[in-house]
Structure 1
Amino acid sequence: MNKNNLPIYFSIAVVFGIIIGVFFSKGNSYSSLVGKTSDNERKIKRLIDYIQSDYVDDVNTDKLLDGAIAEMLDKLDPHSVYIPKENLQSVTESMQGNFVGIGVQFRMRGDTITVIDAIKGGPSIKAGIKAGDRILMANNDTLYGINIRTDQILKKLKGKPDTKVNLQIYRKTNDSVFNIDITRGKVNIKSVDIAYMLTDNIGYIKVNRFARNTYREFKTSLDSLLTKGMGTLVLDLRNNGGGFIDIANKMVDEFLEDDKLIVYTKNNRGDIKESFATDKGEFENGKLYVLIDENSASASEIVAGALQDNDKGTIIGRRSFGKGLVQQEMDLGDGSAVRLTTARYYTPTGRSIQKPYKKNKNSSNYREDIENRYYNGELFSKDSIKITDSLQYKTPKGKVVYGGGGIIPDVFVPIDTTSNMSTFFFGPLQNFAFDYVDNNRSKLSNLTIDDFIKTFDNNHEVSDRFFTKVKDFRISEKRKATIRHNLKTVIARDLFNDEGLYKLSEKDDKMIQKVLELENQNKDLP
């Protein structure tokens, strides 16, 4: 935007701030404003009219107002945000846990869209689309050989329910080109990456978000593992940024006895809303471990905090993100929305786990908090976590817990920098793995995941080919061993999706290994 327009930009922000302030301070919805015209409304309308009719340059007032609203929300808290109408659909799809489309995961390799996976239950897999297929055209629109953006591809593949799209496909396995009609339909965005048995007794469930479909997927996974003899559950909430509070409450309800407090919220009027467990929990008597890290936020922290404060299970990992604010999405009437912080939530002992912030989401302290944890040593040592004695609380069994910024785990596990893929080799590893799977798909399709884990590249033939490609770089034998495992993991992911990724990562996962260590210690107790 031209610097000369900045005074207008901020003037509109101020005026809109007055209107929104009146709107929210009364706790009313948008409908209460449209019923009567206020001086503030007349003022903003007059300003827009002046700009449109008399301002010296052409101005897109829609974009001007979008920027003004976003600027105003920046002055509130780090999690109140404006969602422009062009972004609202994707945000809604993520939170609802589904979208309408053909149901494929893809990546651009070279100049061509290559299907990584046809999503289970989606239209593409029903129509016969397979991993490795190239999508060349959609309804006569060319999708290869051009610099096409991902959002442009999605517009061609997604659409309204029950509409058809004609795809031209190249299938490398038999060197054929063919056309296929696919009827768009609802496609699930899965919340549970994987659920399987780590041992004969220990089950593992990885949850990546708290969307509308999360509890249903979680409950299906829980019930399935119970039929396999699970007595101990590892619930993995690492890198889970949260979602709907009510979904988190339903998950916690599976673990807590009737009438146990899960969480309570308090708004600006002091109104308190409490959520309690019911008597329907399927795993109230089971043993539980919850894995968290610095990217576990919001609803993930509600789960971890509720269990910790009720002395249920063991929280393992590193201090969580520290988001204790509740947002409500509110329609602005033109296809856009605002996600406004309307309350704070508190764990059963009364802890607020919201980390400190200035009323400006661009504050560097808030944005750089995770990076600061790395440099101040907190990600490597529990002793580096700053705690405040005045924010000390006790659980019913006398365990000391702290508020003031995230959930501090019961058992600390430092970040593991040795097992992570080298930043430099990550891209080459991905590309090599993709090409290897793509060129050997028929042969590899005969392997089960267990066979792959036991036998693949035991003679180092495949990984040595990779090292030949990066021979100009000196790599120690110790580093080579790590890279071999990382390459095998990426190939497993391309072949077996999340099942391959997690099962190959399991033995190098320090938190899972800590769980197994604790379980073995308990077995050795008299």
Structure 2
Amino acid sequence: MMNNKTKILLPIYIAIAVVLGIFIGTNLDYKKETVLLFGGNSQEKKIKRLIDFIQYDYVDDVDTDSLLDHTIMDMLSKLDPHSTYIPPQDLQSITETMEGKFVGIGVQFNMLNDSLTVIKVLKDGPSERAGLKAGDRILTANNDTLYGKKLNNNYIIKTLKGEPNSKVDITVYRKMENQELPFTIIRGDVPIESVDAAYMLNNELGYIKINKFAASTYDEFKDALDDLLEAGMKELVLDLRQNPGGFLQVATKIIDEFLEDGKLIVFTKNKREKVDKTFATAKGDFEEGQVYVLLDGASASASEIVAGALQDNDKGTIVGRRSFGKGLVQQEMELGDGSAVRLTVSRYYTPTGRSIQKPYSDDVEDYYVEYENRYNEGELLSRDSIKVNDTLKYVTPKGKVVYGGGGIIPDVFVPLDTTQYIDRIHYSRLNTFVFDYIDNHREQFDGLTFEEFDKSFDSDQKIYEEYSEGLKDSFHYKDLKADEKMVQLYLKALFAQQLFDSNAFYKLMNREDEMLKKVMDLEKNEIPINQ
């Protein structure tokens, strides 16, 4: 069980994750526009004149660029919680995340003891083609020394990324061979995957987890869907937990795989009352199969569009907890200096006409800690504690009652299982421990398949005992003993993730997942829908 401190911190951690996720997850698929500040109207001239006065006449030197940035952020904060300013130094990385790729060398890395260490070499990427291996320490890149310094991630990323087909000469220290090795790597496209896992839960039930709706997500999803259908899938679990959203058109293409031709998917309405409707086409590949959609309080935006479209069309079953509640649509507009704003330009509505945008005011902080209020008021533990607005009641074609005004309420509620929560200290320590252990025992795992690993890993619990021994002098040792079963499972899953991939991680973690257990009960018809 969780201690009191962890219970208090849990909703705060999740709220922070939601804020970060929403920031990168609200961009919808519009053409980018360049907005020129300080044009000809009187308001723009007024701002320009004020900046000139500050720059030339104010008593102290002032960074007017920074001043303007803060002014823009303050202006946007007065509009709504999702209109945001993206400074030039952040725009590229956010754009890459939403495009689903970047140009680099294709490694996951971490700074361990002032050494730039390769945690994982991405499959089919530039580094794998060049011969790099997990555990290699990158000493230099184009004669720039990258060890023995306290370098931040931004500096390292800037050094390793570059133009397509450009060359970077690196030197690595390979611990297993105890020697320095030179490599020349040709930079290329490196995918940022948005489908974390796709596999069969049993002979007929498939599972796909999507972490965001980026430009590449539909293609990833379709490949996974096709593979599962080929493996005999008749029913699907679509896991959208912790998914903050993304491109609207990507979400609608995924929904189109489930709905029959002509079914309304979503519609948007702007300030001029212009309505744009999106309908399903005849090309769906999973229109007959049962779908379960998993949601939690961090499922937002495009995730809610998917869940709302399926729920309102009586397609499948929504399982989990009430989603975040974001029904505002943003358009990205460039400001001409490498920065951009994402400005709310319309609202979206589910097929029954629901807006699932939760209320907001000028206090953005209150808006994002609303999740903490849900926790404190018991909503995460009891369906009866979910507050609904009876004036925002809607009915689906088959007579199911649904509500607007603040997120998607699931058909089948699953309370938060606090015993499944890993303390952030354990999370950090476990990741470090797992890498160090693998780094010192690579021959032990060499050539091992996932199935062999799954059957044999830590059967004598010596690895767990080694981790536990390292915590004995820490006050976290008591927490470890209280959460022992979960920590052991997470330890094994992290080993699987570093040795294989994220698919292996979720195969293990999902065995103790309460929402998936609920789905299995639904499959056996052991619990009623809309309970």
Q: Would you call these one fold, judging by a TM-score over 0.5?
A: yes
SS of corresponding position for 2:451 = helix
- Structure 1 residue aligned with 2:345: 342
Equivalent residues in 2 for 1:50-129 (5 A)?
50-129=53-132
TM-score (norm 1): 0.91
Identify which of 333, 341, 357 aligns with 1:354.
357
1:426 shift after superposition = 2.7
Instruction: Give the residue type in structure 1 aligned to 2:61.
Output: D
Kept after mapping to 2: 8 A contact 1:77/1:360: no
1:326 shift after superposition = 0.1
Over residues 74-99 of structure 1, what are the superposed CA-to-partner deviations in whole Å (9 max), with x where a residue is unaligned? 10000000111111101111111111
Please list every run of 5 or more consecutive structure 2 residues that lacks an aligned counterpart in the other structure. 1-30
- Structure 2 residue aligned with 1:162: 165
Distance 1:34 1:522 in 2: 61
Equivalent residues in 2 for 1:292-311 (5 A)?
292-311=295-314
Structure ranking higher on relative contact order (CA contacts 8 Å, 6+ apart): 2
Change (3 A) 1:305 1:181: same
- Structure 1 residue aligned with 2:377: 376
Change (3 A) 1:342 1:219: same
Change (3 A) 1:489 1:34: closer
User: Number of residues paired by the alignment?
Assistant: 495
Change (3 A) 1:475 1:399: closer
SS of corresponding position for 2:189 = strand
Distance 1:163 1:370 in 2: 45
SS of corresponding position for 1:115 = strand
Over residues 416-473 of structure 1, what are the superposed CA-to-partner deviations in whole Å (9 max), with x where a residue is unaligned? 1112223443332222211111111122122211111111111112112222222343
Instruction: Give the residue type in structure 1 aligned to 2:449.
Output: T
SS of corresponding position for 2:329 = strand
CA RMSD, 1 decimal: 2.0
Distance 1:217 1:338 in 2: 28
- Structure 2 residue aligned with 1:171: 174
Distance 2:469 2:167 in 1: 46
Over residues 117-136 of structure 1, what are the superposed CA-to-partner deviations in whole Å (9 max), with x where a residue is unaligned? 11223211111111111111
Change (3 A) 1:489 1:47: same
Kept after mapping to 2: 8 A contact 1:76/1:360: no
Identify which of 494, 497, 512 aligns with 1:508.
512
TM-score (norm 2): 0.90
Distance 1:360 1:477 in 2: 41
1:367 shift after superposition = 1.9
Distance 2:304 2:62 in 1: 44
Following TM superposition, the consecutive aligned residue runs of length 4 or more in structure 1 with deviations greater than 3 angstroms are 28-36, 472-479
Over residues 281-322 of structure 1, what are the superposed CA-to-partner deviations in whole Å (9 max), with x where a residue is unaligned? 000001111111100000000000000000000100100000
- Structure 1 residue aligned with 2:185: 182
Kept after mapping to 1: 8 A contact 2:35/2:333: no
Over residues 116-159 of structure 1, what are the superposed CA-to-partner deviations in whole Å (9 max), with x where a residue is unaligned? 21122321111111111111111111111111100011010011
Instruction: Give the residue type in structure 2 aligned to 1:489.
Output: A
The alignment status of 1:456 with 2:460, answered yes or no, reads: no
Instruction: Give the residue type in structure 2 aligned to 1:248.
Output: A
Distance 2:328 2:301 in 1: 8
- Structure 2 residue aligned with 1:145: 148
Distance 1:108 1:288 in 2: 42
SS of corresponding position for 1:196 = strand
SS of corresponding position for 1:174 = coil
Kept after mapping to 1: 8 A contact 2:295/2:322: yes
1:30 shift after superposition = 6.8
Distance 1:253 1:476 in 2: 45
Larger-gyration structure (1/2): 1
Equivalent residues in 2 for 1:43-442 (5 A)?
43-361=46-364, 364-442=365-443
Distance 2:35 2:438 in 1: 59
Greater Cα offset, 69-78 or 128-137: 128-137
Instruction: Give the residue type in structure 1 aligned to 2:431.
Output: Q
